[in-house]
Amino acid sequence: MTEFDLAARFLERSRYYLGVEYPTKIAAAVRTVPPDQLWWRPHDGANSAGNLVVHLAGNVRQWVVSGIGETADVRDRDAEFAATGGLNTEELLTRLQYAVADADAVIAALDPAALGAPRRIQGRETSVFAALYHVVEHFAGHTGQIILLAKQFTPRAVCFYDDTDGLATPLFLAGGAPDVA
């Protein structure tokens, strides 16, 4: 595998995680959260499922759409965490869907050779590669938090894999497991 092939594969996998797997899991989990619990926080220093979805939409816009795509950054990060309501489940998921679709368009247009290009995001010097790597791992972490919250509110309502015969077969993908070679 050449360096170019590896870079192209990295972009492809990033698009898959940000555009398919994580948003699909988030949508399935959030839809199980009772509406009156969507903005619930265990304490003031914690985030609700609603906050986390709004935060992910803001983060992916700032880092990918604005930072990597070099468009104006209009994010209000503090508001993402200060929110205590205002959006219902479908409105939250629509916000995330649009942010992810915009980010996917930016990633799809990237030349793999551009991964080393410098960017300045949140006042930090970084590269396209490092920014995208950060966004994928950040998205993964908060996806796990949202799933945990959903499982607290609705035990056994969230299930992503069929473990028959010791195999973890994804249930969240219509066409089966993706190629991860």
Residue 166 — left, alpha, or beta (φ > 0 → left; ψ -120 to 50 → alpha)?
left
- What is the predicted pLDDT for the residue at 90? 97
Q: How confident is the model at residue 50 (pLDDT cuts 50, 70, 90)?
A: very high
Q: Can you give the pLDDT at residue 160?
A: 86
Residue 125: inside a domain: yes
Domain at 54, CATH number: 1.20.120.450
Residue 158 lies in a domain: yes
**Percent of the chain at pLDDT above 70?**
96
pLDDT digits (tens, 9 = 90+) for 107-157: 999 999 999 999 999 999 999 999 999 999 999 999 999 999 999 999 888
Q: Provide the domain limits for residue 156.
A: 3-170
Which residue has tokens 């010097």? 125
How many domains does the chain fold into?
A: 1
Q: Please report whether residue 177 resides in a domain.
A: no
129 within a domain of the structure (yes/no): yes
Residue 66 belongs to a domain: yes
* pLDDT at residue 179 in the model: 53
Identity of residue 153: F
Tens-place pLDDT, residues 93-119: 999 999 999 999 999 999 999 999 999
Burial class, 132, CB count within 10 angstroms (exposed 0-12 / middle 13-18 / buried 19+): buried
Rounded to two decimals, what is the model's pTM?
0.91
In this prediction, residue 168 carries a pLDDT of 86
Q: Write down the pLDDT at residue 167.
A: 85
Q: What is the pLDDT of residue 94?
A: 98
